[in-house]
Amino acid sequence: MWRRFKWPIILGTVVLISFSFRKPVEKYFDIAKSLDIFATLFKEVNAYYVDEVDPEKLIRKGIEGMLESLDPYTDYISEDELESFRITTTGQYGGIGALIGVINNKAVITHPYKNFPAFKAGIKVGDELISIDGKKVQGKSTAYISTLLKGKPMTEVEIRLKRQGQKEDLKVTIRREKITLSNLAYAGLVESGVGYIKLDDFTPGAGREVSNALLGLKQKGAKSVILDLRDNAGGLLQEAVNVVNIFVPRGQEVVFTKGKVENWNKSYKTLNNPIDTEIPLVVLVSEESASASEIVAGALQDYDRAILIGKKTYGKGLVQTTRPLAYNSQLKVTTAKYYIPSGRCIQAVDYTHRKQDGSALRMEDSLKSEFKTKHGRKVYDGGGLDPDIVTESEYVGSVTASLVNAGVVFEFASKYCSENPDMPDLSLFHLSDKDYSDFLGFLKAQKFAYSMEIEESTKQLIEAARRERYYPYLEAAINNLKDKIGAAKAADFIKFKAEIMEILEEQIAFHYALNEGQASVSLNRDNTITEARRVLHDTEVYHKTLSPTDGHNPKP
């Protein structure tokens, strides 16, 4: 019997071996062929196109088009962009320690980082940049201005500023330092016994900063903790592991990565002794919590170590690696998917298999697989993390969003602080009706105007009615609709008064005392934080959520 099947088996083996050797050869031929076509095409375009072309720009477009077909996270980083990329990944640079932005065509300081040169020199939120080392910066891009402000530590830079309420410009000479940005936006007690940590980034030191913050809060009497990862888009994977390590024992797997290159597949485990494995913990998440944030939140959920409160997270389960290229450029390329302790991957979008129109596919709920947490709770892959407790979305009126986007909230805050230089007790701070009336007067002077979505829809209706020659029949009704929309817009400043005043108060508090000031005003108003405090106060609800008797969580 063995003799009878001997040759077919050997023949099959030979075919397989032959095929396995032939396939890579074919692939390498296709690569060489495609590169040759691209190179010759570029030469022909460069030589014969009717107008002069910029070779670098043309090649860059080609690179971007190629990478765009993969996923949004695979990027080409040119030599010129390398410094910005390093700042993003390391949180370090040489400069004055201030964030700048363009508001109503003015370059302004939006955040002087506490205890860094700009802050120590007395630069304030809202100061307008006029010139840097004699070079005028009005009308210039933030990239250009940032380049002028950055430089080697211990070198000096002269800045001329315009401050609200002062006639004369200010001249300040600042000595640059090595700036290491904090990953923490804020850490403090939201009430007696309840600590709060807002983590905004995962650059080097994130784990250490959260650890130190937790120890400090425990010294102040914290018996439970809220870790806020809302709108945290992620960062370094290892720092995510370090943050999880604060709350779970040593030797526990936090995440493992799996990709095409098997040698790069890796399991990341907690390496250090934890700070506290028992303290009640709530993690806040939002639709913009992604990547490293999802690793932290997902691992703590899988180990039943924390309750997740908020919104379904973004769903980024991909890992990027940087690879060196010629001429000091780099490629940031997706090399693996990551899987959290339950075994699930929370990647929401499939960038490999696309629709006919080229758009990426999102995983349908019916295709999601079920996994189990340490205590047997049901959790699911694909589409991000589902919070254990979902909080309702807070509606923000169109007028409120428009006020923020137009920069008038920021500018009024600068004006208010210049007219009221003595900082009030921010924990009790509220604007008066007169202050709100002053704000409306400020808007009128600024000729503020905004459009609503319904107005754009009305314009489309009018265009369609004209095309189809129905406008004469609908004109009266459309004009009536436009009048009602106009009346509704006029009433928006009354309807959304409380909401607008809260945003104004928070921005004014930030102008006065940066993150600490804003936290003093906003934390007690935050519905998600209020829900977290409720859960932490109710021991029965807390433990039942982490260990339900039926081991069941509803499928999203």
Burial class of residue 460 (count of CB atoms within 10 Å of its CB; 0-12, 13-18, 19+): exposed
Which of 455, 475, 471 lies closest to 463, judged by CA? 471
Which of 163, 102, 99 lies closest to 138, judged by CA? 102
* SS3 at position 537: helix
CB 230 within 8 Å of CB 284: yes
Copy the structure tokens of residue 110: 């939006």
Name the strand (E) or helix (H) holding 355: none
d(CA 104, CA 166): 19
Active-site residues, by number, are 291, 302, 316
d(CA 285, CA 528): 9
Q: How far is CA 26 from CA 14, 21, 350, in A?
A: 18, 9, 27
* SS3 at position 306: coil
Dihedral sign computed on CA atoms, order 55, 334, 294, 370: positive
Which of 240, 241, 239 lies closest to 251, judged by CA? 241
How many CA atoms lie within 13 Å of 342's alpha carbon, on the beta-carbon side? Answer: 27
CA 531 distance to own-chain centroid: 23
- Cβ-based neighbours of 17, under 8 Å, separated by 6 or more: none
d(CA 481, CA 522): 38
Which of 17, 180, 222, 219 lies closest to 94, judged by CA? 180
HEC-encoded secondary structure of 443-472: HHHCCCCCCCHHHHHHHHHHHHHHHCCCHH
- DSSP secondary structure letters along 7-58: HHHHHHHHHHHHHHHHHHHHHHHHHHHHHHHHHHHHHHHHHHSSS---HHHH
CB 323 within 8 Å of CB 333: yes
